[in-house]
Structure 1
């Protein structure tokens, strides 16, 4: 699956996107974030406050307990403000 990172999440990870194959134990957005944090310091920094990170699966906003099976693209971004 493809992961996309936006705004300061992208800046902290150091890339705009990547293709990954998480282990079978990674079933939800929460699991994916926990797995990403284990991948290194940049990811740990980007996801240090996972509750503020927003996610979308195939362009649809989802909650942290959303199942990622079958996802083609998952995007992570900080909360949005403004109007």
Structure 2
């Protein structure tokens, strides 16, 4: 499955990139499984996507939860929770 990943705010800074086209294995079917797959890359990826670290995700510009199924060709955006004042 091919995905277009987007990274925002502190994730972009830690990873040193704002986007990546990626092909993932057939076994990666949900947002949470994608996160585990990215952690397995190690290094800055493990740091950015560490388990327990609060992250938000959007699939094709719609907010989704970790159990949401991925779709071939989708845009998956990750970003930290945003607060404001």
TM over 0.5: yes
What's the secondary structure of 1:52's corresponding residue?
A: coil
Aligned to 2:32: 30
Kindly report structure 1 stretches of 4+ aligned residues shifted beyond 2 Å: none
Structure 2 length as normaliser, TM-score? Answer: 0.90
Quote the RMSD (CA, aligned, Å).
1.4
Is the 1:3–1:20 contact (alpha carbons within 8 Å) kept by the matching residues of 2? yes
Q: Which runs of 5+ in 2 are unaligned?
A: none
Identify, as 1 or 2, the structure richer in helix: 1
Matches within 5 A, 1:1-83: 1-50=3-52, 52-83=54-85
TM-score of the two chains, using structure 1 as the length reference: 0.92
Question: Where does the alignment leave 5 or more consecutive residues of structure 1 unmatched?
Answer: none
Whole-angstrom CA distance in 2 between matches of 1:50 and 1:65:
15
| Alignment: residue pair count | 83
